[in-house]
């Protein structure tokens, strides 16, 4: 009954409930994905060497096995989370456009 009062004109109660469920679920997923992305970025090592870049050798064991290192896995999951974040943002935008 309350959903009928809050629903925009021309939208049935079931459409309004579906809109709310999809929007809230996507926003919760966006929040969780953003939080996971922040944590992944904080765990990563900085790319800049600072003053050590002048004298230190950049070729290491982890540099040769880049695909198997923890750092490369963190970068891969960061990009995956950012892609999911972008897709969910577009989904929320499209759902809002369709609800108008």
Question: Is 97 inside a domain boundary?
Answer: yes
**pLDDT at site 89:** 95
**pLDDT at site 68:** 67
This prediction's pTM: 0.70
Residue 74: pLDDT over 60? yes
Question: Is 31 inside a domain boundary?
Answer: yes
From the list 53, 54, 72, 74, the residue with the least C-alpha distance to 63 is 72
Question: Is 6 inside a domain boundary?
Answer: no
Q: Give the whole-angstrom CA distance, residue 80 versus residue 62.
A: 22
Q: What angle do CA 29, 34, 39 make, to 5 degrees?
A: 125
Q: Give the whole-angstrom CA distance, residue 21 versus residue 24.
A: 5
Buried b (16+ CB within 10 A) or exposed e, 39-64: ebeeeeeeeeeeeeeeeeeeeeeeee
**pLDDT at site 60:** 58
Contacts of 19 by beta carbon, 8 Å cutoff, 6+ apart: 11, 95, 99
Query: Do 62 and 71 contact (CB within 8 A), yes or no?
Result: yes
Considering only 12-16, 21-25, 32-36, 91-95, which range has the smallest mean pLDDT?
12-16
Range of the domain at 34: 23-44+64-100
Domain total for the chain?
1
Question: Is 40 inside a domain boundary?
Answer: yes
**pLDDT at site 1:** 47
């Amino acid at each position: 009954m309350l959903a009928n009062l809050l629903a925009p004109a021309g939208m049935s109660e079931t459409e309004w409930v579906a809109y709310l469920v999809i929007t809230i679920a996507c926003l919760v997923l966006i929040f969780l994905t953003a939080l996971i992305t922040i944590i992944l970025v904080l765990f990563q090592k900085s790319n800049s060497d600072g003053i050590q870049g002048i004298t230190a050798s950049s070729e290491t064991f982890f540099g040769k096995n880049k695909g198997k290192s923890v750092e490369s896995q963190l970068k891969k999951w960061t990009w995956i989370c950012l892609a999911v974040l972008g897709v969910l943002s577009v989904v929320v935008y499209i759902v809002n456009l369709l609800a108008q």
